[in-house]
Structure 1
Amino acid sequence: MEIGEGGGSRHGEEERRGDEEEQEKENEEDVAVEEEEEEEEEGDDEEYAIEFDEETNPLDFIEEAADGVELYQQFERLEYEALAERKRKALQDRIDRGEPSKKPRRDEFLGATMEEINEMMNFGMRRRNRSRAPKKRGRKKGSRNKFTHEVSRKIGDATLHYASGDYEEAIPLLEEVVLLAPNLPDAYHLLGLIYEAMGDRMKAINFHILAAYLSPKDPSLWKKLVSWSIEQKNSGQLMYCLKKAITADPNDVGLKFDIALLQFEMGEYKKAAESYEQILEIYPANIEARKMASKMYRKCGLPDRAISLLEDHVNLPNSKVDLNVVDLLVSLYMDKNAHNEALRHIENARLALGFEKLPASLNTKAIICHAHLGEMEPAEVFFQDIQMENSPAKGDWILEVADSFASLGQYDYAVKLYSTLEEIVGDKNGKLYLKVAQCYISMKESGKAIPFFYKALSKMEDDIAIRLTLASVLVEEGKEDETIILLSPPKSSDIAQSKPWWLNGKIKLQLAKVYRDKGMLEAFADTIFPSLRETLIIESMNQKVRPAKKLPKTVLFERAKLLGEQQPQNIFHGFKPIGTTAELAKAARAKKLLQKKASLRAERKAAAIAAGLEWQSEDSEDETPRKEIQEPPLPGLLMNMEGHQLILDLCKALASLKRYREELEIINRTLKVANNALSEEKKEELRSLGAQIAYSTGDPKHGYNYVRHIVQQHPYSNAAWNCFYKVVSRVENRFSGKFLNRMKAAWRDCVPPIVISGHHFTAISQHQAATRDYLEAYKLQPDNPLINLCVGISLINLALGFRLQNKHQCVVQGFAFLYNYLRICDNSQEALYNVARAYHQVGLVTLAAAYYEKVLAIKEEDHPIPKLPYEGSSTREKDLRPGYSNLHREAAYNLHLIYKKSGATDLARQVLKNYCTV
Structure 2
Amino acid sequence: MEIDHLSNMASKNTLVNKDESEDKLLQIFEPNVQSDAVYKFINGEISFNEYLSQMEDIVEDDTSECRIVETDDDRMSIGTVDDLCDLSEDSDLNISEVESESENLNYKKKSKKLIKKKRTHRSKLSPTLRAVMGQANVCYAKGDTQTAVKMCLEIIKEEPNASEPLKTLASIYEEMGQQDKSLQMRLIAAHIGPTNKDEWIELARILKKNNQHRQAVACLTRAINLDVLNLSLYEERAAILKDFGIGGVEGYGYLRLLYKLNPEKDGKTLIYLCEKVARLYYNEKKFEKACNMLKYAFEKCSGLITNAEVNLYLDVLITTKKFKECLEILIKFCNLSIEITSNDNSLIIEKCLIPEDIPIDIREKLIICLIHFNCVDIVRIQIEILLKEDPDITGDLFFDVGTMLIEKELYEDAIKLLIPLTKTDSFNSTMLWFKLALCYKQLNKIEECHKIYQEAIEYFPNDIELKLKFCDELKDAKLYKEAIRITLIDDRKLNLFIYERCKLYLLLNDTNNFIETALQLFRLHYKEISCSEDFTLFSSIFRLSKGMKEKLSQFVPSVVDNLVTLDQEWDIFLKLCNLYVEKKEYDLLQRLTLSLYLSFKFISKRKELRAAMMVACILNNDFELGFDLARFLILQQKENPYRVWNTFCLSTLRSEYNRVHKFLIRFLLRNPHEENGVMLFANSCLFAGTYKYALNDYSLLYDKHKTPILALLISLNMLHITCQKFTTSKHALVTQMVTFLTKYQELRGSDANQEIFYNIGRAFHQLELLPQAIFYYKEALNCNTPVKGKMFNLQCDIAFNLHLIYLNSGQPVIANNYLQKYIIM
Task: Tell me which interval the TM-score lies in, with the shorter structure as reference length.
Answer: 0.5 to 0.7
Per-residue deviation, 1:233: 1.6
Residue identity opposite 1:650 in structure 2: L
Letter in 2 for 1:838: I
Task: For 2:444 and 2:120, locate their aligned partners in 1 and report how far apart those are by CA, in whole Å.
Answer: 89
Cα separation, 2, equivalents of 1:79 and 1:333: 45
Separation (CA, whole Å) in 1 of partners of 2:630 and 2:164: 93
Tell me which residue corresponds to 2:770. 811
Structure 1 residues 328, 676: CA separation in 2 closer, same or farther (over 3 Å shift)?
A: same
**Aligned pair partner of 1:834 in 773, 776, 801:** 801
Alignment equivalent of 1:269, drawn from 242, 248, 251: 248
Return closer, same or farther for 1:188/1:511 CA change in 2, 3 Å cut-off.
Answer: same
1:399 aligns with 2:399: yes
**Structure 1 residue 75, shift from structure 2 partner:** 10
Q: Deviations over 1:73-102 (max 9, x none)?
A: 78999997999xxxxxxxxxxxxxxxxxxx
CA 1:533–1:364: 2 relative to 1, 3 Å: same
In structure 2, what residue type is equivalent to 1:219? K
Aligned twin of 2:514 = 524
Say if 2:617 and 2:626, in contact at 8 Å, map to a contact too. Answer: yes
* Counterpart contact for 1:269–1:299, Cα < 8 Å: no
CA contact (8 A) 1:691 1:706 kept: yes
For residue 238 of structure 1, report the CA deviation from its aligned partner.
0.9
Shift of 1:204: 3.0
Deviation of 1:481 after TM superposition, in Å, equals 1.9
* Residues 263 and 271 in structure 1, CA contact (< 8 A), matched pair in contact too: no
- Which residues in structure 2 correspond to 1:169-568 (within 5 Å)? 176=151, 179=154, 183-193=161-171, 196=174, 200-265=178-243, 266-272=245-251, 274-279=253-258, 281-282=260-261, 283-286=266-269, 287-298=271-282, 303-316=287-300, 319-351=303-335, 357-390=357-390, 393-425=393-425, 430-488=430-488, 493=491, 500=492, 502-504=493-495, 506-529=496-519, 531=521
| Residue in 1 that maps onto 2:814 | 851
| C-alpha separation in 1, matches of 2:428 and 2:575 | 42
Asked if structure 1 preserves the Cα contact closer than 8 Å seen for 2:421 and 2:428, the reply is no
- How do 1:764-783 residues align onto structure 2 when only pairs under 5 Å count? 776-779=743-746, 780-781=748-749
Contact 1:154 1:177 in 2 (8 A): yes
Displacement of 1:738 in angstroms is: 1.6
CA contact (8 A) 2:163 2:193 kept: yes
Cα separation, 2, equivalents of 1:151 and 1:691 = 96
1:662-696 deviations in whole A, cap 9, x for unaligned?
A: 53576797999999999xxx99x997x88985775
SS of corresponding position for 2:334: helix
How far has the Cα of 1:241 moved from its partner?
A: 0.9
**Alignment CA distance shift 1:472-1:177 (3 Å):** closer
Q: Which amino acid aligns with 2:247?
A: E
Deviations 1:756-778 (A, max 9, x none): 89889999997989966765543
**CA distance, structure 1, for counterparts of residue 423 and residue 624 of structure 2:** 70
Secondary structure of residue in 1 paired with 2:358: coil
Q: Amino acid of the residue matched to residue 168 of structure 1?
A: G
Structure 2 CA distance for aligned equivalents of residues 232 and 728 of structure 1: 76
1:248-303 Cα distance to aligned partner (Å, 9 max, x none) = 33343322232233344534224246424415514453032121222344456654
Does residue 1:738 correspond to 2:679, yes or no? Answer: yes
Using the alignment, how far apart are the partners of 1:377 and 1:481 within structure 2?
Answer: 44
Would the aligned equivalents of 1:177 and 1:187 in 2 still touch at CA under 8 Å? yes
CA distance in 2, matches of 1:731, 1:234: 75
Local SS of the residue matching 1:516: helix
Q: Aligned in 2, Cα 1:456/1:489: closer, same or farther, shift over 3 Å? A: closer
Determine the C-alpha separation between the residues in 1 that align with 2:375 and 2:703.
Answer: 77
Contact 2:415 2:439 in 1 (8 A): yes
Taking the aligned partners of 1:194 and 1:725, their CA distance within structure 2 comes to: 93
In 1, Cα distance between the equivalents of 2:181 and 2:476?
A: 77
Question: Which residue identity lines up with residue 779 of structure 2 in the other structure?
Answer: N
**Contact kept? 2:155, 2:165, Cα under 8 Å:** no
1:772-807 deviation per Cα after TM superposition (whole angstroms, max 9, x unaligned): 6765543434662343233223322233xxxxxxxx
CA distance in 1, matches of 2:268, 2:417: 40
Q: CA deviation at 1:235?
A: 0.9
Alpha-carbon offset, residue 747 of structure 1: 11
Tell me the equivalent position of 2:578.
Answer: 652
The residue type equivalent to 1:246 in the other structure is I
User: Is the CA contact 1:226–1:242 (under 8 Å) kept in the aligned structure 2?
Assistant: yes
Does the Cα contact within 8 Å between 1:395 and 1:421 map onto a contact in 2? yes
Alpha-carbon distance in 2 for matches of 1:824, 1:76: 100
Structure 2: 5+ residue stretches without partners: 1-27, 61-113, 338-353, 529-537, 544-556, 635-639, 662-676, 684-696, 725-732, 786-793
Paired with 1:270 and 1:635, the residues of 2 have a C-alpha distance of: 41
Q: Which amino acid aligns with 2:411?
A: Y
Taking the aligned partners of 2:220 and 2:484, their CA distance within structure 1 comes to 66
| CA shift in 2, pair 1:327/1:529, >3 Å | same
Contact kept in structure 1, 2:761 and 2:775, CA below 8 Å: yes
Distance 1:758 1:393, change over 3 A: farther
Go from structure 1 to structure 2 and tell me whether the alpha carbon gap of 1:465 and 1:747 turns closer, same or farther (over 3 Å shift).
farther
Distance in 1 separating the partners of 2:795 and 2:586: 40
CA contact 1:789–1:817 (8 Å) conserved in 2: yes
- Partners of 1:472 and 1:75 lie apart in 2 by 63
CA distance in 2, matches of 1:386, 1:477: 36
Distance 1:793 1:370 in 2: 95
Letter of the 2:257 partner, please give it: Q
Distance 1:851 1:216 in 2: 132
Aligned equivalent of 1:794: 763
2:754 and 2:292 mapped to 1: Cα distance?
Answer: 96
CA contact (8 A) 1:273 1:292 kept: no
Distance 2:650 2:170 in 1: 99
Q: What letter is aligned with 2:776?
A: F
Aligned residues: 632
Give the residue type in structure 1 aligned to 2:236. Answer: D
Q: Give me the whole-angstrom Cα distance separating, in 1, the residues matched to 2:526 and 2:760.
A: 50
| Amino acid in the other structure paired with 1:243 | T
Larger displacement relative to structure 2 (382-391 or 370-379)? 382-391
Q: Deviations over 1:362-415 (max 9, x none)?
A: 111221222223223343233322343358631222122223333444332222
CA shift digits 1:109-141 (9 cap, x unpaired): xxxxxxxxxxxxxxxxxxxxxxxxxx9886999
TM-score w.r.t. length of structure 1: 0.56
Deviations 1:547-604 (A, max 9, x none): xxxxxxxxxxxxxxxxxxxxxxxxxxxxxxxxxxxxxxxxxxxxxxxxxxxxxxxxxx
2:317–2:326: 8 Å Cα contact kept in structure 1? yes
Partner-residue secondary structure (3-state), 2:419: helix
Residue 345 of structure 1 aligns to a residue in which SS? helix
What residue number does 1:552 align with? Answer: none
Match of 1:70 in 2: 46
Determine if contact 1:835/1:851 at 8 Å carries over to the other structure.
no
Structure 1 233/425 Cα, relative in aligned 2: closer, same or farther at 3 Å?
A: same
Partners of 1:471 and 1:756 lie apart in 2 by: 62
Higher relative contact order (CA 8 A, sep 6+): 1
1:314 Cα deviation from its structure 2 partner: 2.2
Q: Which amino acid is the alignment partner of residue 327 of structure 1?
A: N
2:462 match: secondary structure? coil
Partners of 2:408 and 2:127 in 1: CA distance? 82
Cα drift, residue 212 of structure 1: 0.9
Partners of 1:76 and 1:643 lie apart in 2 by 58
